[in-house]
Amino acid sequence: MLSLQEARKRVEELRREIREHDYYYYVLDNPRISDREYDALVRELENLERQYPELITPDSPTQRVGGEPLSEFKTVRHPMPLLSLANAFEPAELKDFDRRVRQLAGAQVDYVVEPKIDGLTVVLTYENGVLVQGATRGDGTVGEDVTENLRTIRMLPLSLPDAPPRLVVRGEAFMSKKAFLRLNEERDSRGELPFANPRNAAAGSIRQLDPRITASRPLGVFTYQVLVSEGVSLESQAEVLKYLEQVGLPVQEHCRHCRNIDEVIDYCKDWNEKRHSLPYEIDGMVVKVNSLRLQDALGSTAKSPRWAIAYKFPAEQVVTRILDIMVRVGRTGVLTPTAILEPVQVGGVTVSRATLHNEDMIREKDIRIGDFVVVQRAGDVIPEVVRVLTERRTGEEREFRMPDRCPECGSRVVRPEGEVAVRCTGIACPAQLKELILHFVSRDGMDIEGIGPALVTQLVDRRLVEDPADLYFLNKAEIIGLERMGEKSAENLLRAIEKSKGRGLAPLLFALGIRFVGTRAAEILAERFGSMEALSRASAEELTAIPEIGPKIAASIVAFFQEDQTRQVIEKLRQAGVKMEQEKPAADPRHLPLSGKQFVLTGTLSSFTRSEAEELIRRLGGKVSSSVSKKTDYVVVGENPGQKYVRARELGITILDEAGFLDLVSS
């Protein structure tokens, strides 16, 4: 074993090497060693840090994913307002921009042109060379502290040995096109809605409260602006970019210094053609006055600087033909018409379908099968039909009619009054059954680990499961017979299924997928009725008498229990031994000490986790809500409170610190 001193030396060496290789790999995209060699370095470092935990530092490459999920983000005030950019859509508008700038400058002006990464602004703060904070743009003045999430981005160095004592930079976080497509495939197979475009995916990933989720989503960052740099003097945007690169931050490689606006325009046109050659999306080019002194002199309007402008690429449109219109049945039984297109290239990808949203839209745009149409992809992956080229009609085109039977199960479809959506009424519709089973086993439902989309597909397709209760009658032989299932995994699965029987009434009610009954409503119903039996006999009047249950939920519950199929499933669940009673008899909530009081929690408490505190409040008859309003009675403020605290003060609501809260609940 190494001495502490030797270990420290080796640890430092390893970190230096790993950082260097991270830079080659993630920033320069030019690795110097094999993945295996790299893994060996990381493993050695991890081992040493395990042996000598005192050597762990927050900027160690092993510490990218840390910590527990947050309950909310803290707010961060930016060192200066983060402005956004005015747009230009035509070269002529760039000429106008140049004319204005030159008028104010009184001389010829040179520019820096940078690809406009289609992601989200982030602000990074390094103190003494260590990344101490990362924030979103927010409203430009105050953003959210997403440090833990940004730390998971491998392209972003956690430390910069050559940085000044304080360095604050602005950049853009993004998701590559490849990572985006992969993420959407995964989401699709889990029955989750896909992200519309990489920007949404990146923003959604960065605004995750659980950094482990962010870590699983490959993101990148490019920096382009220095907001604070103590003791460093920079004179031009070209120098800024060089400087950022020198200290070790990632900078987009296709930034170009142009001597005049004509060069700028050529470069923009050039990139309009080449934009798809990049592995991430760019939605335009940013044109910036090069001289920082001139930038200062030009200043800004309330919203955007006068020294920069975004040249936006035109949304790409192409003409293609609608070969057919198909109907897909979604998770909730909604039928969505989709145009099958003659495949065309648009926005760098081949598209062969476009969403038509619903029947009304097809009618409004008068879209027919066989039509030539203009299709547009505006940042979003799924393109849309802009208009029909009626002049190209031959008379052979066919009008589309929504089927009156579900294409998946043949049941009748209905279009409820006032809705645009058409729904399948089949309870045993396989498209819906798979979704229902996934919902049934989900974490807030029966929480059965090990059942994913692939397994559900097999269970449903082989008719081993025809309703959720069938899960409880699976046997080992049946499970082993499935793909990728061995003895061991079958046993684990059976154990998980068995365990779920005791989940309790509220999770079970949620799991059954009653329309409009989410986790909160399920809890209220369980608390109020105490058993499945009692709830199944409740009338709409009894249900709407409960403050949080409206007529829509009530009607849906009554209808649910009237179905024969529901009764059968519940009976089967009962026979399987699934618990259907609430733990303790429901107390009359009016006599509880906090009854009628509404609470909002913010920040971290030291003697409870967030959910323990919420549970406690509810047990005592209080309500917990996630946002502060005039109806809030108390705001409980822990360590590092968020904006709810500010809002509570604005509204003059009683604020309790942890001690005050403890007093209240124990009194």
Smallest gap from residue 286 Cβ to ligand IVH (A)? 4
Q: Dihedral of CA 605/610/611/614: which sign? A: positive
Largest CA distance in the chain: 87
Nearer to ligand IVH, 122 or 413 (CB): 122
Q: Are strands 87-88 and 308-312 parallel, antiparallel or unpaired?
A: parallel
**Position of tokens 């409880």?**
472
Contacts 24+ apart (CB under 8 A), 346-350: 346/316, 346/317, 346/318, 346/375, 346/376, 346/377, 346/383, 347/276, 347/316, 347/377, 347/383, 348/177, 348/275, 348/276, 349/377, 349/381
Q: CB neighbours (10 Å) of residue 605?
A: 20
Smallest gap from residue 247 Cβ to ligand IVH (A)? 17
Active site residue 116: yes
Task: Give 225's contacts (C-beta < 8 A, 6+ positions apart).
Answer: 169, 170, 171, 240
The H or E element spanning position 188 is helix 177-189
Nearer to ligand IVH, 70 or 292 (CB): 292
Smallest gap from residue 199 Cβ to ligand IVH (A)? 10
Is residue 660 exposed (0-12), middle (13-18) or buried (19+ Cβ within 10 Å)?
middle
Is residue 505 exposed (0-12), middle (13-18) or buried (19+ Cβ within 10 Å)?
buried
Tell me the three-class secondary structure of 433-459, residue by residue.
HHHHHHHHHCCCCCCCCCCCHHHHHHH
Smallest gap from residue 430 Cβ to ligand IVH (A)? 44
CA distance 111 to 257: 6
Catalytic residue among 9, 74, 95, 116: 116
Smallest gap from residue 86 Cβ to ligand IVH (A)? 9
Q: Contact 275/118 with Cβ under 8 angstroms? A: no
Smallest gap from residue 555 Cβ to ligand IVH (A)? 46
Q: Contact 370/376 with Cβ under 8 angstroms? A: no
Strands (E), 107-210: 111-117, 120-127, 130-136, 142-144, 166-175
Nearer to ligand IVH, 104 or 474 (CB): 104
Which residues would be at the binding site for ligand IVH (CB under 6 A)?
83-85, 114, 116-117, 121, 172, 224-225, 286, 305, 308, 310
Smallest gap from residue 267 Cβ to ligand IVH (A)? 13
The H or E element spanning position 335 is strand 334-346
CA distance 517 to 207: 26
Smallest gap from residue 87 Cβ to ligand IVH (A)? 7
Smallest gap from residue 222 Cβ to ligand IVH (A)? 7
Q: Contact 315/283 with Cβ under 8 angstroms? A: no
CA distance 653 to 87: 43
**Position of tokens 């409870």?**
608
Q: What are phi and psi of 286, to 5 degrees?
A: -105, 125
Nearer to ligand IVH, 163 or 286 (CB): 286
CA distance 122 to 310: 18
Is residue 338 exposed (0-12), middle (13-18) or buried (19+ Cβ within 10 Å)?
middle
Catalytic (active-site) positions:
116
